[in-house]
C-alpha cells in the first residue's frame, strides 16, 4: 500500500491522489487502507517516510571500516545529492510546496516525515562521530544543517526552477563542503 501511495503522491501530487486509486493499485480495499492509516495525510506521511528510507541507509555506515572521515562525508553528501536531484523528487517537492499554500498541514506532514527525520539521522551520525573523537561539535543539529546546506548550495534551488544538473559543479560543491566542514569540526588527525 505504501509503495503504491508513494508512486501516486510522487507522480500526481497530494491533492490529485485518491485513496480509491491507491487501494486499486495496491490490490486492497479502500477500507483496508483506512484501517491501516486512518486518513490520507497519515498515508502521505508513510509514503514520504518510505521514500526517505533509501537515503537514511547512508547514515548507517560502519564508522570503523568505511574509509577516512572525508571519504565517509563525501559518500553521504554524494548520496544525498543524488537522492535530491532525482527528477521525480524535484517534481514532488514542487507539488508539495504548491499544495502547502492551500493546506499548510501537507507541508508540515512532509517536513516531519522526510527532511526532519533525515536531519535526525544525520545528527545522530554526527553525534557518534563526536563520541568517537573524530569531530568536535557543540551542536550536532546545527552542524547537520550546515553540511546539508553546503552540499545542496544553489544546485537545489536551480533544479527546483528547471535548470539542468551540472555534475561538475555539484562535485566541486560537495568536495568543498566536506573540506569546510572538516576545517570547522574535525579533530586533529581525524580527516
Chunked into runs of 10 residues, the chain (191 residues) has average pLDDT values of: 90 90 95 94 86 66 73 91 85 86 88 89 93 96 98 91 91 98 91 66
Domain containing residue 90: 57-185
The Cα 121–Cα 133 span in angstroms is 19
What integer pLDDT is reported at residue 173 of this predicted model?
Answer: 97
Q: Does 38 fall in a domain?
A: no
Q: Does 6 fall in a domain?
A: no
How does 50-81 read in b/e, with b if 16+ C-beta sit within 10 Å?
A: bbbeebeebbebeeeeeeebbebbbebbbbbb
Q: Does 118 fall in a domain?
A: yes
Domain harbouring 176, CATH code: 1.10.357.10
Q: Does 32 fall in a domain?
A: no
What integer pLDDT is reported at residue 84 of this predicted model?
Answer: 85
Counting the structural domains of the chain, the total is 1
Q: Does 35 fall in a domain?
A: no
What integer pLDDT is reported at residue 83 of this predicted model?
Answer: 84
Q: Does 20 fall in a domain?
A: no
What integer pLDDT is reported at residue 56 of this predicted model?
Answer: 64
Judging by beta carbons within 10 Å of its beta carbon (0-12, 13-18, 19+), is residue 21 exposed, middle or buried?
Answer: middle
Amino acid at each position: 500500500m505504501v509503495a503504491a501511495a508513494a508512486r501516486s503522491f510522487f507522480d500526481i501530487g497530494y491533492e490529485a491522489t485518491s485513496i480509491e486509486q491507491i487501494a486499486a493499485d495496491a490490490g486492497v480495499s479502500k477500507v483496508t487502507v483506512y484501517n491501516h492509516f486512518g486518513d490520507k495525510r497519515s498515508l502521505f506521511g508513510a509514503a514520504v517516510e518510505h521514500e526517505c528510507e533509501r537515503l537514511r541507509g547512508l547514515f548507517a555506515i560502519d564508522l570503523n571500516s568505511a574509509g577516512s572521515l572525508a571519504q565517509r562525508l563525501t559518500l553521504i553528501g554524494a548520496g544525498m545529492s543524488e537522492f535530491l536531484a532525482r527528477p521525480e523528487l524535484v517534481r514532488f517537492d514542487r507539488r508539495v510546496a504548491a499544495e502547502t499554500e492551500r493546506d499548510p498541514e501537507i507541508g508540515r506532514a512532509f517536513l516531519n516525515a522526510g527532511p526532519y527525520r533525515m536531519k535526525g539521522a544525520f545528527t545522530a551520525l554526527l553525534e557518534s562521530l563526536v563520541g568517537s573523537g573524530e569531530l568536535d561539535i557543540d551542536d550536532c543539529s546545527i552542524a547537520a544543517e550546515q553540511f546539508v546546506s553546503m552540499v545542496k548550495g544553489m544546485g537545489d534551488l536551480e533544479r527546483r526552477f528547471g535548470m539542468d544538473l551540472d555534475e561538475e559543479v555539484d562535485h566541486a560543491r560537495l568536495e568543498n563542503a566536506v573540506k569546510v566542514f572538516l576545517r570547522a569540526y574535525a579533530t586533529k588527525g581525524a580527516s
